[in-house]
Amino acid sequence: MASARTDENPYVEEPETDFRPVEELSEDEAGEQAEQLREAIRFHDYRYYVENDPVVADRTYDALFTRLQDLEDAFGLRTDDSPTRRVGGEPLDELGTVEHVAPMLSIDSSGEAEDVREFDERVRRESGTERGDDLRYVCEPKFDGLSVEVVYEDGEYVQAATRGDGYTGEDVTENVRTIASVPHRLRGDYPDYLVLRGEVHIPEAAFRKLNRERVERGEDPFANPRNAAAGTLRQLDPSVTAGRPLDCFFFDVLDSSYEFETHWEQHETLPEWGLKVNDRSERTDDIEDAIDYRDRLMADRPDLDYEIDGVVIEVDDLSTCAELGTTERHYRWAFAYKFPARSEVTEITDVTVQVGRTGRLTPVALLEPVDVGGVTVSRASLHNPEEIAEMNVNLGDEVDVERAGDVIPYVAEVVAKHSEGHYEFPDHCPVCDSAVEFDGPMAYCTGGLACVAQLRRAVEYYASDDGLDIEGLGGERVDQLVDAGLIEDSLADLYRIEEDDLVALEGWGETSAENLLAELEASTHPRLRDFLSAIGIPKVGPATATDLAREFGDLDAIRTATREELESVEGIGPTVADQIAEFFASEQNEHVIDDLLEAIGPLETPRATETGDELAGLTFVFTGSLDGYTRSDAQELVEDHGASATSSVSGNTDYLVAGDSPGQSKLDDADDEGVPVLDGREAFEENLREKGVEP
């Protein structure tokens, strides 16, 4: 294998980018060049993400990466550990679950220095360390991101999972694979087995850029970097994850075939293996130095490019940590010293109104930019029209801006009134000029699916798991199709897209175009209940859609049903009945639905042979991977026969169905509530047969 040294690899410190055409290369030449490029890209990733000292310009790196993609596509050379896997693999049906190698527990915390000193006293008392004896601590920033477990075997990346309940988490292997700071292959003299805890986050500068692009496209911005990172990491389409600027710090070794003696040794060794650690971590000689570290880091917080809400202080010596052990929820050898909440006063310069998928209008204050705890804030939520009236807030007023959860900017109160009255909420949609209706404190655009702002998110929802489950049609691809004019004013435009239209777009090829068109073809003639859920009727999700389909039997009957008839359906109250009736009464929605039905053909309506009420009144919860069923298949099976399928265990749950790698929290809840557990497919199907349902 070619090494990454300049004298052996022509693509490292002074890379050649004037490549011969791919078609002129032999298979041997292509294979050799591809391997050199992989090694070079890994080297440059290490210099950029770990050493923070890149040796080539971004455009040069991009040229190397593109060349590798071209070679792998032309000669079928793609490998499991190739850097090109970072662009994302095939979409997943659902995220599976993974049992952690070691528990990923939480950390006890406080914002008071005295509590930190009490932690030190307890550690000394329980470890037998006398006052005055050395007791070193490692201090690190407390990142406001998403914890993950990452596993390497023989130096190769093999698995990643979210923290979940601390004992099992969601399998996010393919999504974490797309994060450039998570190496596919370790460097140096790495151990045979290594399990790490890391924190996935979105850097502040990248988050602001991401939100700016979303707002410019007419989308709602993400509330905060943590939520954006969490949602991105749980995407079923890894290509969506790859398109978001995720980053990862590693800070703890959960298990390893290499024996460490201290946490600080871990911190110093991980970069040698190509793993990114935080350069603001320090080792201190006593607890007072640790408290001083927190104060210094809080002062430097404005200059950091990542969100933190405190510091983590952990005992350095690992044998002492093992002696201290854990509680059921917390490590006894670690403590989080939190920062105080943040707020600042600034002036409102304007108010903009954003339109969401369901037509909900959200007012956002545009602010004179202000530094709030180290982050420049220029926009903040005004909540809703009712809140605006209660605060009596208007343009020109000075307001107190806070960051809820230490992150989300919002207007808390008016501190100096420089205007008369409050901001008058518009009576027409700022996007489509349709009338605005008010429902309690909320405001909604009545344009429905004919409103372009709603159409973008309506298409995304139509293709989601709760809709028709069209793989490969996530938010970014929907935006691309709308921006290209392929979706203009109707969901039906999806079914008018041709292969040439897609291939002409950036990032699309024949294979991805064919895959999407095949998915769209497979979504024609959907079941009535899936269609009802997919078209975005306010307050109608899969469960309510199932009830409507079962009660009325066909779409025309639902479209013409009165409020009283709708309210007679079990589980549908006056508010939901009004929403359904108003949705179908809209002329714009009527046009869009008729157009859509023309494109997809007749719906599959419930048939007596497929449905029944054998399970009526029962509630099922599913956890883990059930052999032979996807999660949605199993839920639909019980719902087809009158049962409800919910996501959490409660006193109303009749059965918890547990497949492979079940969530420990659901099993614990079932035990607490006395809920019977059906262990695996055989027990599940036997239970159904006992009730007259043939799986």
pLDDT band (50, 70, 90) for residue 187: very high
Closest to 82 (Cα-Cα) out of 100, 95, 96, 70? 70
Say whether pLDDT at 294 is over 70.
yes
Q: What is the pLDDT of residues 123-162, one digit of tens each?
A: 999 998 877 678 999 999 999 889 999 999 999 999 999 9
pLDDT band (50, 70, 90) for residue 2: very low
Rounded CA separation 549/555 (Å): 8
Percent of the chain with pLDDT over 70: 93
Say whether pLDDT at 405 is over 60.
no
| Averaged pLDDT, 608-617 | 68
Q: Is 444 helix (H, G, I), strand (E, B) or coil?
A: strand
**Element holding 141 (H helix, E strand):** strand 137-143
Q: What is the pLDDT of residue 565?
A: 92
Of 333 and 455, the structure prediction assigns the larger pLDDT to 333
Computed over every residue of the chain, the mean pLDDT equals 86
Whether domain 343-443 has CATH 2.40.50.140: the reply is yes
Q: What is the pLDDT of residues 669-679, one digit of tens each?
A: 888 888 999 99
| Dihedral sign for Cα atoms in the order 65, 68, 72, 77 | negative
| Averaged pLDDT, 389-394 | 93
3-state DSSP of 229-275: HHHHHCCCCHHHHHCCCCEEEEEEEEEECCCCCEHHHHHHHHHHHCC
Percent of the chain with pLDDT over 90: 39
Q: What is the pLDDT of residues 630-689, one digit of tens each?
A: 666 787 788 778 887 776 788 888 999 998 877 777 888 888 888 999 999 999 999 999
Q: What is the pLDDT of residue 646?
A: 74
| CA 565 to chain centroid | 39
Binding site as annotated, residues for Zn(2+)? 429, 432, 451
Question: Regarding the domain delimited by 449-600, which CATH topology (the fold level of the hierarchy) does it fall under?
Answer: DNA polymerase; domain 1 (1.10.150)
Binding site as annotated, residues for NAD(+)? 58-62, 106-107, 140, 163, 199, 338
pLDDT band (50, 70, 90) for residue 465: confident
Give, in order, the Cα–Cα distances in Å from 466 to each of 237, 304, 482, 583.
Answer: 15, 39, 21, 18
Q: Is 417 annotated in the active site?
A: no
Q: How far apart are the first and last CA of the chain?
A: 53
Find where tokens 């070079």 sit. 40
Q: Residue 97 is encoded by which pair of tokens?
A: 């679950």
Say whether pLDDT at 1 is over 50.
no
| Active-site residue, from 142, 276, 417, 539 | 142
Least confident among 97-101, 212-216, 543-547: 212-216
Number of Cβ within 10 Å of residue 330's Cβ equals: 15
Number of Cβ within 10 Å of residue 256's Cβ equals: 17
Whether domain 109-338 has CATH 3.30.470.30: the reply is yes
- Class of domain 619-690 as given by CATH: alpha beta
Q: What is the pLDDT of residue 287?
A: 95
Q: Which letter does DSSP use for residue 492 in this model?
A: G
How does 7-31 read in b/e, with b if 16+ C-beta sit within 10 Å? Answer: eebebbeebeeebeeeeebeeeebe
| Averaged pLDDT, 496-510 | 90
Instruction: Decide if 22-87 and 343-443 have a common fold.
Output: no
Binding site as annotated, residues? 58-62, 106-107, 140, 163, 199, 338, 429, 432, 451
Q: What is the pLDDT of residue 373?
A: 63
| Averaged pLDDT, 575-598 | 88
- Class of domain 22-87 as given by CATH: mainly alpha
pLDDT band (50, 70, 90) for residue 6: very low
Rounded CA separation 364/377 (Å): 12
Residues 13, 43: contact at Cβ < 8 Å? no
Q: What is the pLDDT of residue 119?
A: 95
Domain boundaries, the chain: 22-87, 109-338, 343-443, 449-600, 619-690
Q: What is the pLDDT of residues 237-273, one digit of tens each?
A: 888 888 899 999 999 999 999 999 999 999 999 999 9
Q: What is the pLDDT of residue 610?
A: 53
Q: What is the pLDDT of residue 608?
A: 38
Q: What is the pLDDT of residues 70-110, one digit of tens each?
A: 898 888 888 878 888 877 666 666 788 889 998 898 888 88
Q: Residue 612 is encoded by which pair of tokens?
A: 């029944």
What pTM did the predictor assign?
Answer: 0.53
* Range from 265-269, 300-304, 499-503 that averages highest in pLDDT: 265-269
| Averaged pLDDT, 217-241 | 78
Closest to 383 (Cα-Cα) out of 356, 403, 410, 360? 410
pLDDT band (50, 70, 90) for residue 623: confident
Rounded CA separation 462/545 (Å): 14
Residues 422, 394: contact at Cβ < 8 Å? yes
